[in-house]
Structure 1
Amino acid sequence: MSLQDKSIAIFGAGNMGQTLLKMAIDKSARVYLFDKNPDILDAISLKFNELVASGKLSLKVVQESTATISVPAGINAIIIAISWHEARSLINTLASLDVCPVIVLGRPALEDSLIPSMANSKHPILLGTGLEPGLMESISSYILKRNPQSHTIESYCGGLPEIPVGPFGYRLTFGRRLPIEPRPALTIKQCQLLSAPRFAEVKYQYFPSVGLLEAFDDAMLATTAEYFQKHVVNFAQNTLRWPGFSHAARACQALGLLSPQKINIGELNTSVRELTDTLLTTTCHSDETTSNDFVLCKWQHMNQLGEKGELVIKASQPEPDISAMAFMTCAFALTATEALFEMDLAGIIYPHEKPATQIGLNFLQKIKTSQHVEITTSGTLTSIITEAV
């Protein structure tokens, strides 16, 4: 199934939303782009004036209150390209409307009280449809499906600037906050589910043509942990960064710079954390650097006989105004959108579940011939991935 002649609604006109609209229109879809900021939409109207004039792109302001949101007739799928915190009420409203499938890019807060009601939707709601959560879990699930005697599955994922910038060596390609909040991170060791502070344990991974990167347990959802704990001895999901990121994040916490404490600066009422975000984000935002970025995704596998294998995906920036992270995330989201048109599904779908696994395989099939993507395999994962794609 393609997106040709489909109508796609995208909520969020930031970096991801704009990349989604370009890629969806390239696939011959019609796009409705929603955002609460009319100034951003005005700028997009000027930037994409030909698409607006042709009727391929429609821009709509969404009100702060989403309880009475009106979705245009004939919409075939809705993609949420804003954070869970900003989108939770919107997603709940869309679930109650039962208009069409909803694809959520952001990391869901599984403890959110609204999630149980979303499960009653008659249309599918994909929670976590980015790279992580999203692609990483889907491929890990496929590895386990093809090799039920797996002992260890460990994955690594990260979007990095080619040239490290700022105190974190990081490029903020979407969102308004640096990902440095000290939330608990999950991992499975010797069949035990463990929780530790996000940056407590730093590991290192070497990648040819890139060098040494640091990795830390970070992105595992509780639903993912519950599933894999039943099937493997060890399972971990690591975020990749240039060395020094974790140290800088821990330093911010130790100095109290992530505190929610309210402060007044002249007439400005803010918090220590918000001020820190404002200052540090300025040094790490993609607009502030000319450095291209790249994405690395890696899976390491070992079966119960001790045989090992690897799958590595490296994606480079495809265009000057489309980051590698935006390209990979949006390509996966649109692959998910296409796949849902052929699946008879309802309710919440998590990224480790069977439908998402098929989406991951479809994604590998689509990107394997891209000139911006390199895929390498070895050992136990050579035949698994070769047969899949």
Structure 2
Amino acid sequence: MSKNIGLIGCGNLGYPLALHIGQLGFDRLHVHDLDERKATRLKRDLEQAHPALQVMDHLDTAELDVVLLALSGPATIAFVTDERNDALFRKRPVYVSLGRPLYDDFTAHQALHRRLLERDVTLFFGFGLEPGLVEILMHDLASNSAAGTIVSLSAVCGGVPQQPQPPLNYDLLFGDRLPALNRKALVKIDGSLGYCLRFDMKESRFVEGVGMLDVYHDGLSPYLLESPGVAAVATIRQQTARWPGFFDSVRNLIDLGLLDEHVPPGASVSASDQVHDILVRNGRLSRNRPDISFVEVVAQLACGEQATHRIVSTFDEANGLTGMAQLTSFLAVWTAWRAVQTPDICRPGIILSHECYERDATDELLAAYRRYVKCTVNSSPLSRGVPL
């Protein structure tokens, strides 16, 4: 039987998602976007790049095996709670979303889980880079180490230009704004949970294959912290990494109110609109240039040694995909493929990334990254009996 997948959302990630869909062997792809021009353009581009994949720029009822949602967290929830969308599927509805789950509202998260259970709907929620791949790798190191042997667990991820331009030393990889939202970030230090603002503090960290970087707290998944293995670790950090210069520049813009999105009375644009327009016009903020994107997770062991997972992806000149687009999109497509191939993993309700990948499944995922994505994958022997 042919394998049919739907892709809802044809924006920045539409093309890399669709290319991976073709790589993994789906037979037919149905694309949809509220902006019909995006769906039409994606269909045309795919027909040239991957002629073996049948692409439809419309959705038919009772046709799909799985639907991939390239949507935000709120948009994902709106889509999966609209019961009319269940008619798209041949059997039980199965959604895979790159959106961010409800980290700050446990009650709403549980209510959504119960609602999906009642309708026998599966939602794989948070299957991009962060959230997604980062949590999988953190969970893997923690759950496969003996209890009490991990002193600390830390993750950094980010995407940086191969040829940085000061003072920002940053290129846009998604969206049209600097990733400068100064929201609360959850950290765990010496057994205690606490919050800081993302741009409160910076540290330095060297990532092999990339270089010396500034890192700052981006926040942990509260659901990951409750999982077996992870819960026993006293100190856990999840941080974003950028070239030196980015953090200080953004912190200054925030402190000066120049990234305020509010439109003052009598004005037509916000301070942030003006700043971003100036940065783009002056060539200080470019889009989708060759990048290096990466995730590194390190478990510091009581014996003084480390267990590590590291994936570094670079710009692919053959198809014009940034390393960030590859890292972010592949997990969602691989998970959708697994859902079709092994339907037993599709239990009703919400499934978070670290709940979906155990030891063997994580090994298979890393092998798939090595095979299908332009990247290097390194895992220390301590995370397994032998190197991957």
Q: How high is the TM-score relative to the length of structure 2? A: 0.84
Between 307-316 and 154-163, report the one with greater CA deviation: 307-316
Is contact 2:22-2:50 (8 Å) kept? no
Aligned ranges 1:1-389 → 2 under 5 Å? 5-29=2-26, 30-49=28-47, 56-60=54-58, 72-93=61-82, 97=86, 99=89, 100-111=93-104, 115-119=109-113, 120-121=115-116, 122-147=120-145, 148-149=147-148, 150-165=150-165, 167-227=167-227, 230-263=231-264, 268=268, 270-277=269-276, 279-280=278-279, 283-286=284-287, 291-318=289-316, 319-341=318-340, 342=342, 343-355=345-357, 359-369=361-371, 372-378=374-380, 380-381=382-383, 383=384, 386=387
The CA distance in 2 between the partners of 1:340 and 1:271, in whole Å, is: 44
**Unpaired segments ≥5 residues, structure 1:** 61-69
Is contact 1:146-1:384 (8 Å) kept? no
Q: What is the CA distance between 1:226 and its match in structure 2? A: 4.0
Q: Over aligned residues, Cα RMSD in angstroms?
A: 3.0
Q: What is the CA distance between 1:206 and its match in structure 2? A: 1.8
**3-state SS of paired residue (1:263):** coil
Q: 1:332 to 1:222 in 2, by over 3 A?
A: same
Q: What is the CA distance between 1:254 and its match in structure 2? A: 0.6
Is contact 2:187-2:219 (8 Å) kept? no
Q: What is the CA distance between 1:271 and its match in structure 2? A: 3.3
Q: 1:23 to 1:184 in 2, by over 3 A?
A: same
The CA distance in 1 between the partners of 2:191 and 2:223, in whole Å, is: 15
The CA distance in 2 between the partners of 1:186 and 1:198, in whole Å, is: 9
Q: 1:25 to 1:311 in 2, by over 3 A?
A: closer
Task: Look up the equivalent residue of 2:251 and give its one-letter code.
Answer: R
The CA distance in 1 between the partners of 2:381 and 2:386, in whole Å, is: 11
The CA distance in 1 between the partners of 2:84 and 2:203, in whole Å, is: 40
**3-state SS of paired residue (1:187):** strand
The CA distance in 1 between the partners of 2:386 and 2:156, in whole Å, is: 17
Q: What is the CA distance between 1:277 and its match in structure 2? A: 4.8
Q: 1:61-89 CA distances to partner (integer Å, 9 max, x unpaired)?
A: xxxxxxxxx76322111111122244442
Q: How high is the TM-score relative to the length of structure 1? A: 0.84
Task: Look up the equivalent residue of 2:95 and give its one-letter code.
Answer: V
Percent sequence identity over aligned pairs: 21
Q: What is the CA distance between 1:377 and its match in structure 2? A: 3.5
Q: What is the CA distance between 1:49 and its match in structure 2? A: 4.6
Between 27-36 and 187-196, report the one with greater CA deviation: 27-36
Between 125-134 and 275-284, report the one with greater CA deviation: 275-284
Hey, what does 1:64 align to over in structure 2? none
Task: Look up the equivalent residue of 1:262 and give its one-letter code.
Answer: V
Q: What is the CA distance between 1:325 and its match in structure 2? A: 1.1
**Unpaired segments ≥5 residues, structure 2:** none
Is contact 1:186-1:220 (8 Å) kept? yes
Q: What is the CA distance between 1:221 and its match in structure 2? A: 2.0
Is contact 1:157-1:295 (8 Å) kept? yes
The CA distance in 2 between the partners of 1:385 and 1:217, in whole Å, is: 32
Q: What is the CA distance between 1:133 and its match in structure 2? A: 0.9
Q: 1:17-52 CA distances to partner (integer Å, 9 max, x unpaired)?
A: 111112212333211111111232343344345589
Aligned residues: 369
Q: 1:75-121 CA distances to partner (integer Å, 9 max, x unpaired)?
A: 11111112224444223326983842111112234346754443132
The CA distance in 1 between the partners of 2:186 and 2:346, in whole Å, is: 32
The CA distance in 2 between the partners of 1:192 and 1:144, in whole Å, is: 18
